[in-house]
Amino acid sequence: MQFPKRLQLANLPTPITKLERFPLHGSGAQIWVKRDELTGTEVSGNKIRKLEFSLAEALEQGCNTVITCGGLQSNHCRSTAILCSRLGLKVHLILRGEKPEQPGGNLLLDLLAGAEITYVLEQDWATHEDLARKLQADYAASGNKAFFIPIGASDEIGLWGYIAACKELKEDFEQLGMIPDYIVTATGSGGTQGGLLVGSKLFDLPGKVIAFNVCDDAAYFEKKIHEDVTLWQRRYKIDVDFQKKDINTIEGYVGPGYGLASKEVFSTIAELARTDGLFLDPVYTGKAFHGMVTEILKGKEGCMPDAVNVLFIHTGGLFGVFPQQQYFSFA
């Protein structure tokens, strides 16, 4: 398959490791982890895979500025800010929430990387794309050219990140002699989930792709991913047998809301760190991993009946742990 222009930014391929001690209470399932938190250090996680394609397009178009958006602790915005610094591009972030007195986690790294930040209150967030277009016009008026990347780099360009990852997964499975029954990921903007769905078809991967939403609901992701894949097919003229019924988003694990986790999620994060030395975050991976384990333990009543081998895509997010350290209990 011919991929579009791509920057070599991530440390690839990432390894797959087997969980040896995390308790699954006789379920018979084995969890494997695709270690995409190891795609970098300061730019760790899934976003860099997508940004390899998005930023290549920005440079191809002759842009000297990148505008993108997300939450205050956005992994995507942190990755974009650092990569733009590396590439000599100006970056302007539109972040949802009030400017904190003391920045921490991803936000601190955004600022250290030199990002210009516009804060937008929660009640005004619906207008963030209008603001991005205005900023593009303002940059153009001053003789600059700004490239807009949507939340999570989740669009028809960003889909390539995890389409390419599926080629890597095919090689992983062959080397390990492992056939997954399920491939599991967190989903917050749909790009990773959509890329896995398309890539699994293009590279004929075994295993059903399942995503645990960390915000919104299944209907939102069905619509969003279908739109992104449709645009991808039109833009790149690639035929793939993709239907809405292929989109499997498991609800029930969002908890109090986006960026907010239940005490059970914090407990699961701490338990995995103790048993296997793997660190999840309370925004994305913690919720998805907790949901996956809960569903496995339901047996035939869960969404992964008779699971033997389950692959969890670790999409990173370590820096998001620190701003929520007060919610962990070490008693």
Catalytic residue among 27, 44, 54, 74: 74
Cβ atoms 104, 322 nearer than 8 A: yes
Active-site residue flag, 74: yes
Spatial distance between the Cα atoms of 295 and 303, rounded to a whole number of angstroms:
6
Radius of gyration of the chain (CA): 19
Q: How many CB atoms lie within 10 A of CB 42?
A: 15
Nearest-10 Cα torsion for 207, 209, 214, 219: -150
**Tokens (6 digits) for 226:** 């279908």
> For residue 199, what are the β-bridge partners?
none
Task: State the Cα angle at 221 between 263 and 106, rounded to 5°.
Answer: 50
Strands 249-250 and 208-213: parallel
In angstroms, the CA 262 to CA 181 distance is 28
- The catalytic residues are 74
